[in-house]
Amino acid sequence: MASDFSSSGSLIERRERVVCPGVGRQSGLTAASADGAILTDHEGGRYIDFAGGIGVMNVGHNDPDVVAAIREQSGRLLHTCIHVATYEPYVELCEKLVEIFPHGGSGTKAMLVNTGAEAVENSIKIARQATGRPAVICFTGAFHGRTLLATTMTSKVNYKTGCGPFAPEIYRLPYPAVTRHDDERTVAQRELARLRAAFKDTVRAEDVAAIIIEPVQGEGGFYVAPNEYMRGLRDICDQHGIALIIDEVQTGFARTGRWAAYEHFGVYPDLSPWAKSMGGGLPISCVIGKSEFMDKAAPGTLGGTYGGNPVACAASLATIRKMESLGLNARAERHGGIIRDRFNAIADRVPAVHDVRGLGSMMAIEFNDPEDPGRPGSALVAAIIDRCRDRGLLIIPAGVSGNVIRVLAPIVISDDDLMRGLGILEEVAVSLASEPAHSHH
């Protein structure tokens, strides 16, 4: 009886009936299957996927080698819990991670969990244990996840509504956000000075365990931190014995044309959380860190029942090998160039474009309100996204005002699909930006 009731109506109606609305829904899109950079809905509609499950599908949907590794591992061992019995996929994945992401110092170690938020939380716990200090500095526009400590460090208030009280000892400074209208050096120097001042007017440097920063902000709108700022941050952390945590959850695993976005800056973190594309679609995340920090974590304080599940480890190892064999970093670099050129072409045609920015294939285009250029073009972006979906392109917003369109397409996307998707976006943006605003709703 219950099953008759629960399976009636459309998938979206069924969802509305039983799924907590706190789990946000951006659209009425459904997903039945996916392959490479194409998503198919329950009506058989095909979409070019510029969202990649929010930056998870760098290696492409249902990569055959990843699927084969999942099948093989699931026939052998599904779970023991790493605290109970040591299995090889966990150790092999950590070996691979420390090989690709050496953090310098006396050596590098890793630990595995399931989500980006968990990796972030564990990196903070390790930094506190290693330094014996309580405070954490984070940034405006930051997104670090939705568990309570991660929510505390996340900036956009829409993600936090009614969820407090938040974790104590979290301090926030302005992110060094640069648009094409700003001078990078000025922003870097101003915000470094503000950080030094914060040690006098906000929190003592001797009380700060960690500074956590996204080298390119994800949800915050794809701002790329200035190189001078990242280098200054490294110096300040060294000077005061503060752990520099670089959050690579969205930027990592080839998205910016490097394994790690921090490689672009020549700045290495003490600790770094990773997730999203490292699992090829399965939930797995990690903290990588200098041994002198990682070795300070007391046994039993980190981990969890499912952290580093064998099947997820096998998926991650297959994903990393596939990224290596496809030369995904070079591909991301090339795609990024194509996207940037097209976005600049849109900017030439559409006066409401405020900025084009990003790193590698992590590219974004920001809009102002066409009728009031001093304000963010949030309604315009929402309208562009809806109309793109009607035309077979799945794309998602970013930015605290939702006025940024970001591309997180699978990096394996064919040139053909990439060009078709960009073509749809250009046509839609040009036509909607010239329509009166009331038609954006």
Ligand X SMILES: Cc1ncc(COP(=O)(O)O)c(C=O)c1O
**422: helix, strand or coil:** helix
Rounded Cα–Cα distance for residues 156 and 40 (Å): 31
For ligand X, which is the closer residue by CB, 205 or 398? Answer: 398
In the complex, which residue's CB is closest to ligand X?
116
Rounded Cα–Cα distance for residues 169 and 375 (Å): 33
For the residues of 241-257, what is the DSSP string, one character each?
A: T-EEEE--TTTTTTTTS
Q: Shortest CA distance to 278 belongs to which of 407, 119, 159? A: 119
- Torsions phi, psi of 190, nearest 5? -60, -45
Could you say whether residue 117 binds ligand X (CB under 6 A)?
A: yes
Could you say whether residue 384 binds ligand X (CB under 6 A)?
A: no
**Crossing angle (nearest 10°) for helices 415-433 and 378-390:** 130
Task: Choose one: 86-94, 139-147, 179-187, 333-341; the region binding ligand X (CB under 6 A).
Answer: 139-147
Could you say whether residue 400 binds ligand X (CB under 6 A)?
A: no
Q: Please, what's the b/e burial string for 155-173 (b: 16 or more CB within 10 A of its CB; e: otherwise)?
A: bbeebeeeeeeebeebebb
**210: helix, strand or coil:** strand
For ligand X, which is the closer residue by CB, 218 or 370? Answer: 218
Applying CB under 6 A, the site for ligand X has a residue count of 15
Site string for ligand X, 9-48 (x = CB under 6 A): ----------------------------------------
Could you say whether residue 124 binds ligand X (CB under 6 A)?
A: no
Site string for ligand X, 234-273 (x = CB under 6 A): -------------x-xx-----------------------
Rounded Cα–Cα distance for residues 156 and 403 (Å): 13
- Considering only 52, 89, 116, 232, the residue that binds ligand X (CB under 6 A) is 116
Could you say whether residue 218 binds ligand X (CB under 6 A)?
A: yes
Q: Shortest CA distance to 296 belongs to which of 101, 113, 109? A: 109
Could you say whether residue 155 binds ligand X (CB under 6 A)?
A: no
Shortest distance (Å) from residue 147 CB to ligand X? 7
Site string for ligand X, 339-358 (x = CB under 6 A): --------------------
For ligand X, which is the closer residue by CB, 252 or 257? Answer: 252
- For ligand X, the binding residues (CB under 6 A) are 54, 115-117, 120, 143-145, 214, 218-219, 247, 249-250, 275
